Amino acid sequence: MTTLRPRLPARIASLSCLLSICFFPIHDLALPAVVGASAPQKLKPTDQYALIFGTVWGPDNHPVYGVKVRIRRSRDKKPKWEVTSDHAGEFAQRVPAGKSDYEVWADLKGVKTKNGERLHLAQKVAVHVEYDERVDIGLHLNR
């Protein structure tokens, strides 16, 4: 007695259709914005940018991991960017190219040493950007 089975390509097609429905839901697709709605401008990969690159240094002059670093334009009141230092204590943030001043500091809420001592930022760092350049800074923490 012979049983009929779907051909292999038909099985693959139905499986791929099922997987695409499960793993790529429709609500995650990027839909065009409503006309007239203003969204914050983000840098596109093709835009020119300046790079603020820095290292967070602890009281013992070792790099510190996991510190939130906030960056704002000097004329603004609230931070526009927030990054976290990596395992080497480093962070990097793209900012628009062109003449502008920025202020960079570490958000140390809840950050303590192994002994339970609170850390403080020595001082906020002022950054001046002229063109599409890289500016290197260091944030030094004190006890």
| Fold of domain 49-142 | Immunoglobulin-like (2.60.40)
9-13, 28-32, 68-72: range with highest mean pLDDT: 68-72
Integer Cα distance of 53 and 92 in angstroms: 4
Identify the band that residue 85 occupies on the pLDDT scale cut at 50, 70 and 90.
very high
Q: Using CA atoms in the order 43, 44, 49, 54, what is the torsion angle rounded to 10 degrees?
A: 70
Domain ranges of the chain: 49-142
Q: Which of 99, 90, 102 is nearest to 132 (CA)?
A: 99
Query: Using one digit for the tens of pLDDT, what is the confidence trace for 32-76?
Result: 444 444 445 676 777 889 999 999 999 889 999 999 999 999 999
Identify the band that residue 112 occupies on the pLDDT scale cut at 50, 70 and 90.
confident
| Mean of all residue pLDDT scores within the chain | 80
Spell out a b/e string for 5-22, using b for 16 or more CB atoms within 10 Å of the CB, else e: eeeeeeeeeeeeeeeeee
pTM higher than the cut 0.85: no
